[in-house]
Amino acid sequence: MDELAVLDDVELMGDGEQVVSFRIGDEILAVGVDTVYEIVRMREVTEVPQVPSYVHGVINLRGHIIPVINLRNRLGLEEVEETRSTRIIVVELGGESIGMVVDAVDEVVTVPTDAISPPSPVLISIDTDFVRGIARLEDRLIILLDVLKVTQFGAEGDGEEKPEALPAGDAAAAPAIEGGDEA
Amino acid sequence: MTDGFDMSEYLDVFLQEADDQLLTLEENMVKLEQEDAPQDVLQAIFRAAHTLKGASASMGFTQLAEVTHILENVLDALRNEQIKTSTDLVDATFKALDCMRALKEEAAQGVQGTVPDEVIQDTLTSLKTILAESQGDRMEAQEAGGGPVGMELAAHDMETISEAVERGYNVFQVHIKLKEGCPLKGIRAALIVNDMNDHGEVVKTAPPSEDLEEERFDHEFVALTVTQSTETEIMESVKKLAEIDEVSVEAVKADEVVAAQDKADDEAAEAADAAEAAVAAAAEEAGDPDVKPAAAAADAPAQQAQGGPSRQVATVRVNVEQLDNLMNYVAELVIDRTMLEQIRASLAQQRGTQDDIVARLEESVSGIRRRTTELQEEIMKARLLPIANVFNRFPRMVRDLAKKAGKEIDFQVSGGETELDRSVLEFIADPLIHILRNAVDHGIEPPDVREEAGKPRKGAVDLNARHEENHIVIEVTDDGRGIDPEKVKAAAIRRGQLTEEVAARMSRREVYDLIFAPGTSTADQITDVSGRGVGMDIVKTNIERLNGQIDIQSQVGVGTTMAVRLPLTLAIIQALMVSSRQRIYAIPLSAVEETERRPRSDVDTVRGRETITVRDKVIPLIDLSGALSYSREVPPPEESDQLYIVVVSVGEKLAGLIVDRLVGEQEVVIKSLGKFIGEIHGISGATILGDGTVALIVDVGALLNRVVDEIQQPALA
C-alpha cells in the first residue's frame, strides 16, 4: 500500500510527499503527513498485559483509549528513558488511532518523489522490513517508515524483543513541533 | 416514482419513520382487542396508517402503500363506527402489519419481490372482507375526500380576516391538491404558501403549517389567504408551481368564517366543560381540592377541540455516536480541569491562598467542576430511553403465545416510561421474551384447569418496570401454578445433578437456582419438572453479563414472580479501585463480595494453590497482577504481614484477589481497549481516571473461570 500523497508544492515544483520527520536515536525517520492525526507530549501510559513488549500500553487521548507502540522496541533498538522531547505521534489507520513513541519530532518536510530510493540495510540501523524507502535530502537521509507494517499486530513473529544493545543514541535536542493543543 | 428524482437520501428518514408508525400501529392494535376501542386509540392508529401510506406512496413503495391504504380504510370504518372490533378484525390487522413489516424490510434491503404476491393478496382479501361488513360504500367517499380539510380559526385569525374585509381585501380559501406521490410535499406546500404570501397573507392552513412542513398530510391542503389579488390571479400564480394536480380558489364571506368560528368555539367549550366535570369528579373522589395533574390532563381535550396540535415534547433525533463523542469531550474537560487545579495549587504555593488571583482561579475552577459534573449527568440522561421501546412488542407476543397455547391471558404492562441506557435496552429484550414465554407456556394453566382450581379462567401476567436507586427492576408476575421445589429437586436428582442428601438440605432459594442450571433447559423435562426453565440458564447468563441479577419468588398454586435487576447503564459501573504492583485496576462492584485484611499466616496451600478460608469456605487466592501476566514484571512490594484480599464471585464461584492496596469506590465509564489490542484474558475494558490516566477493568468472570476449575470447590451452593 504505497499511497504517496502527491501534493502541490510551490517551492519544490514537482511531485513530492509531505512527511513528518522525527528522531529515534541518530536516525531521522518520517511518516506521511496524511496518516498523522496528532502529535502529543509523552504522557502516562497504562501497560496492558498479554501483549508483545513493543506495545507500550494505552493512553487517554481526549476520552479515547488508544494503544501506544514503543517504536524503539518495535524497530529492534534499545529503549531509552523518556526526555522532555519525547513525543507520541498518533497515526490513523483504517479508522483506528495508534500512537508511536518517538524520541523527538522535527518538522514537516516535503520529500521529492525522485529522492526516494528503496531501503538498503547498509545505510540504516533498523529493520528494513518496516521501511518503505529512504529519502536523500541535501544534508540528511530520511527513513520513510511503513506505518502499516509497524502497526501490524502479530503479523510476523511478534515474539519477544531481541535486546541486543545498540549504542544509545542520545535523544537529539532538535526543535520539536509541538502537538497542537497539548499544554 | 417521479422522473429521475433521487430518493435514496430520503430512504433512511422514511425507514425510521416507517418503524415508528409500525410500532404505533402494533401498540395500539393490541388495545383494540382489549378495550372497547377508545377514540384516542383509534385516532392514533388511523393517523399512523395514514402517515405511513402517504410516506410509502411518495417513496414509490406501491405495495406497501396499497396494503396500508386498505388498512387505513378498515381503521377509518372502525373509527366512524361503521364496523366493530372482533377477533377477525384484529387478526386481519395484525396480518396486514406483518405484511407491511415484510414490505418495509424489502424497502430497507433495496430488494423487491421477496414478499410473495399471495401473501399480499391474502392480506388484502382479509382486510377487504372486514370492510365488506361496513354498509355502504363510504370507502369511496373517503378516497375522494382524501382526508378532512376543516378549518378552525382562532380569535386573532378572525380579527385579521374581518379587518382585511373591512379594508376591502379579498379572503380566499385555496384548495390545493398535489400530484399523488409527489416527493418532498412538505417543501412543495411551503413553496405554495410562500407564493400566496407574495400576493397577500396566508392566515391559516389546514392541516396546520407545521403538519404541512412535516408532511403530515395526504396530498391535499387548504390555505386561507387575505389578498388584494383576484381569484384568477391567485389561481394562475399557484398553478405555475411544480407538482400540482388541482387548485381551486373560493371566496370566503366574512359571516361564514364567523359561523365556522362559532362552531369551533362551541366544540371547544363542550370539551372544556367535560374536562372540568372530570376534574371536579376527580377532586371529589380524591377529597382534595388541589387537583393539578387532573386539570392538566383536562387541558388536552380542550386543546384538541381547538384543532391545535396535540401537546408534544420537543425532541430531536441524535446519532448515538454523537452522544458518545459528547461524553468523550466531557471526559477530556475533566482532565483539563484537573490540570487547572494543579496550576492553582502550585500558584497557591507561590503566592499563598489569600492571593487575589489564586482565589479567583479557585472560584472558576470550582465552577468548571460543577459544570462538568452536570454536563456529564445530562449527557448520560440523554442516552436513556424509556423501556417501552422494548415492552411495546410484548402485548402482541403474549397474545399470540396465549392463542397458540390455548390459554386466556390478561396481560398488563406498567412502568413503560421507566428509562434506562440504550446499551442495556438492546440486551434485555431476549431474556424478557424467555421469561414471558415461560409464564405463558408453563406458568399459567389452561382455562379449564384454572376453573377447577377456583381461579378465574383468564390468567394474569403482569410486566412491570421501576427504578430502584441506580437500578431498574423489571418484574414478570403470573398467577399460574407456581414452582414446586420438590418437583425441581426430583428432576435434578433424576438427572444426576444432585444427591438426595444434598437435595434434602437445600433451601428454597438454592432450589430455584437449579432452574438456572444448564441442563434444566430441555422442554419436556421442564414441563414435568416445574413448568419452567426453557433456556433459563441462558436468561441468567445474559442478565449477569449485563451486571444484573435475577430473582425468583413463587408459591405453588398461587403464582410466580421473576424479578430482573439491572444497572441503568452499561457504560458506567460502580467499581472498587485497587492497586497492584503500582498499577490501578477497577473491579466491578457487582462482583465484589467483601474485602478482607488478613495476616499472611492465614494462607493455606491446597494442591499447590494458595487458598484462604472466608466465612467457612475455602477459596482460592489469585494474585491480580501475576494472573494477568505482563511482559514487564514489576516486583511485588516488600513482603508485608498483611494481605489485602478482595473476595469476588461470579455465580457460585468465589475467589480472593490479592491486591496491594484498596484505593476506593468510584463510578467508572467503561471503554473498549480497541481492535488493535483486542481481547485480553482477565481484562474487560478500560476506564479513564480523574487525573486523565487509564485504568484497566478486571474481568472477574474470566479470572475465576480459569482458577476455580483447578481447585475443588466445596459443595455446590
Phi and psi at B456, nearest 5°, equal -60, 150
Mean pLDDT is lowest, of B215-224, B560-569, B611-620, for B215-224
Which of A49, A62, A183 has the CB atom closest to B680's CB atom? A49
Q: Return the percentage of chain A with pLDDT > 70, whole number.
A: 75
Give the residue-averaged pLDDT of B500-523: 73
DSSP labels for B73-97? HHHHHHHTTSS---HHHHHHHHHHH
Q: What is the DSSP letter of A9?
A: B
Question: Is the distance from CB of B562 to CB of B551 less than 8 angstroms?
Answer: yes
Residue given cell 385579521 in the structure block: B160
> How far is C-alpha B414 from the geometric centre of its chain's CA atoms?
13
| CB-based contact, A48 to chain B, within 8 Å | yes
Q: How far apart (Å, rounded) are the C-alpha atoms in residues B290 and B117?
A: 59
pLDDT digits (tens, 9 = 90+) for B217-258: 777 888 888 888 888 888 888 887 777 888 888 777 655 555
Contact B630 A58 (CB under 8 A): no
Residue given cell 540495510 in the structure block: A121
Closest CA to B632 of A92, A56, A37, A58: A56
Question: Is the distance from CB of B441 to CB of B401 less than 8 angstroms?
Answer: yes
Task: Report pLDDT for B549.
Answer: 82
pLDDT digits (tens, 9 = 90+) for B419-477: 888 778 878 888 898 899 888 888 899 999 999 989 999 999 999 999 886 678 999 99
> Which of A24-33, B522-531, B708-717 has maximum average pLDDT?
A24-33
Closest CA to A24 of A56, A91, A74, A72: A72
Phi and psi at B561, nearest 5°, equal -125, 130
Residue B60: other Cβ atoms inside 10 A: 15
| CB-based contact, A153 to chain B, within 8 Å | yes
Task: Report pLDDT for B8.
Answer: 63
Q: How far apart (Å, rounded) are the C-alpha atoms in residues B458 and B627?
A: 56
Contact B632 A53 (CB under 8 A): yes
Give the residue-averaged pLDDT of B112-131: 82
Q: Are strands A64-70 and A96-102 parallel, antiparallel or unpaired?
A: parallel
Give the residue-averaged pLDDT of B628-639: 77
Q: How far apart (Å, rounded) are the C-alpha atoms in residues A56 and A45?
A: 7
So what's the ipTM on this one? Answer: 0.76
Question: Is the distance from CB of B247 to CB of B176 less than 8 angstroms?
Answer: yes
Q: How far apart (Å, rounded) are the C-alpha atoms in residues B478 and A162?
A: 66
Q: How far apart (Å, rounded) are the C-alpha atoms in residues B596 and B647?
A: 7
Distant-in-sequence, close-in-space partners of A8: CB < 8 Å, separation ≥ 6: none
Confidence of residue B7 (pLDDT cuts 50, 70, 90): low
Residue B50 falls in the annotated catalytic set: yes
Task: Report pLDDT for B262.
Answer: 54
Preceding peptide of B207 cis, ω within 30°: yes
Phi-psi region of B617 (alpha: psi -120 to 50; beta: other; left: phi over 0): beta
Confidence of residue A28 (pLDDT cuts 50, 70, 90): very high
Nearest CA in chain B to A93: B676
Confidence of residue B79 (pLDDT cuts 50, 70, 90): confident
Distant-in-sequence, close-in-space partners of B571: CB < 8 Å, separation ≥ 6: B327, B380, B383, B421, B423, B669, B670
CATH of domain A16-151: 2.40.50.180
Q: What is the CA radius of gyration of chain B?
A: 33
pLDDT digits (tens, 9 = 90+) for B672-687: 888 888 888 899 899 9
Q: How far apart (Å, rounded) are the C-alpha atoms in residues B581 and A111?
A: 46
Nearest CA in chain B to A161: B631
Which of A53, A96, A183 has the CB atom closest to B674's CB atom? A96
Residue B282 has pLDDT above 80, yes or no: no
Task: Report pLDDT for B284.
Answer: 46
Mean pLDDT is lowest, of A19-33, A149-163, B652-666, for A149-163
What are the angstrom distances between the C-alpha of A20 and each of A16, A29, A67?
Answer: 13, 8, 20
Q: How far apart (Å, rounded) are the C-alpha atoms in residues A62 and B692?
A: 9
- Nearest Cα of chain A lies from the Cα of B13 at a distance, in angstroms, of 26
Nearest CA in chain A to B333: A62
* Residue to test with chain A: of B677, B689, B693, most A Cβ within 10 A: B677
Task: Report pLDDT for B145.
Answer: 38
Residue B692 has pLDDT above 90, yes or no: no
Confidence of residue B133 (pLDDT cuts 50, 70, 90): low
Instruction: Catalytic residue, from B50, B69, B219, B434: name it.
Output: B50
Task: Report pLDDT for B12.
Answer: 75
Higher pLDDT among residues B31 and B312, named by residue: B31
Where do the DSSP E strands lie in B82-155? none
Instruction: Catalytic residue, from B28, B170, B392, B438: name it.
Output: B438
Cell of B666: 468510584
Which of A55, A60, A160 has the CB atom closest to B688's CB atom? A60
| CB-based contact, A117 to chain B, within 8 Å | no
Q: How far apart (Å, rounded) are the C-alpha atoms in residues B651 and B513?
A: 10
Which of A44, A51, A183 has the CB atom closest to B677's CB atom? A51
Contact A153 B676 (CB under 8 A): yes
Q: How far apart (Å, rounded) are the C-alpha atoms in residues B224 and B172?
A: 6
Task: Report pLDDT for B208.
Answer: 77
Task: Report pLDDT for B154.
Answer: 63
Give the residue-averaged pLDDT of B75-89: 78
Strand order in the sheet with A140-145: A104-112, A16-24, A27-32, A140-145, A131-137, A116-117
Q: How far apart (Å, rounded) are the C-alpha atoms in residues B476 and B560?
A: 8
Task: Report pLDDT for B314.
Answer: 67
Distant-in-sequence, close-in-space partners of B68: CB < 8 Å, separation ≥ 6: B49, B52, B53, B56, B96, B100
Task: Report pLDDT for B146.
Answer: 36
Higher pLDDT among residues B675 and B529, named by residue: B675
Task: Report pLDDT for B274.
Answer: 57
Nearest CA in chain B to A57: B677
* Straight-line distance from the first to the last Cα atom of chain B, in angstroms, rounded to the nearest whole number: 66
pLDDT digits (tens, 9 = 90+) for B158-168: 767 777 777 77
Residue B66 has pLDDT above 80, yes or no: yes
Q: Return the percentage of chain B with pLDDT > 70, whole number.
A: 81
Closest CA to B634 of A49, A88, A60, A81: A49
- Nearest Cα of chain B lies from the Cα of A27 at a distance, in angstroms, of 26
* Residue to test with chain B: of A38, A44, A62, A90, most B Cβ within 10 A: A62
* Residue to test with chain B: of A58, A59, A68, A96, most B Cβ within 10 A: A58
Cell of B521: 433447559
* In chain A, domain spans: 16-151
Task: Report pLDDT for B265.
Answer: 52
Mean pLDDT is lowest, of A66-80, B257-271, B285-299, B406-420, for B285-299
Instruction: Catalytic residue, from B17, B26, B27, B72: name it.
Output: B72
Q: How far apart (Å, rounded) are the C-alpha atoms in residues B636 and B659?
A: 10
Give the residue-averaged pLDDT of B24-45: 76
Question: Is the distance from CB of B243 to CB of B179 less than 8 angstroms?
Answer: yes
Helix (H) or strand (E) holding B659: strand B653-659
Nearest CA in chain A to B687: A65
| CB-based contact, A49 to chain B, within 8 Å | yes
CA atoms within 13 A on the CB side of B262: 6
User: In chain B, which residues touch A (CB < 8 A)?
Assistant: 327-332, 335, 339, 583, 628-632, 671-678, 680-683, 686, 688, 692-696
Mean of per-residue pLDDT scores for chain B: 77
Count H helices and E strands in chain A, helices first: 2, 11
**What residues of A are in contact with residue B680 (Cβ under 8 Å)?**
48-51
pLDDT digits (tens, 9 = 90+) for B598-612: 988 888 888 778 889
Dihedral sign of CA atoms B517, B523, B528, B531 in order: positive
Cell of B250: 373560493
Residue B88: other Cβ atoms inside 10 A: 12
pLDDT digits (tens, 9 = 90+) for B192-224: 888 888 878 887 787 877 777 777 777 788 888
**What residues of A are in contact with residue B686 (Cβ under 8 Å)?**
46, 58, 65
Residue B657 has pLDDT above 90, yes or no: yes
Residue A85 has pLDDT above 80, yes or no: yes
DSSP labels for B322-339? HHHHHHHHHHHHHHHHHH
Q: What is the CA radius of gyration of chain A?
A: 16
- Nearest Cα of chain A lies from the Cα of B449 at a distance, in angstroms, of 59
**What residues of B are in contact with residue A59 (Cβ under 8 Å)?**
694
Residue B267 has pLDDT above 90, yes or no: no
Give the residue-averaged pLDDT of B90-118: 83
Q: Which residues of B369-378 are buried (b: 16+ CB within 10 A; e: fewer)?
A: eeebeebbee
Residue B123 has pLDDT above 70, yes or no: yes
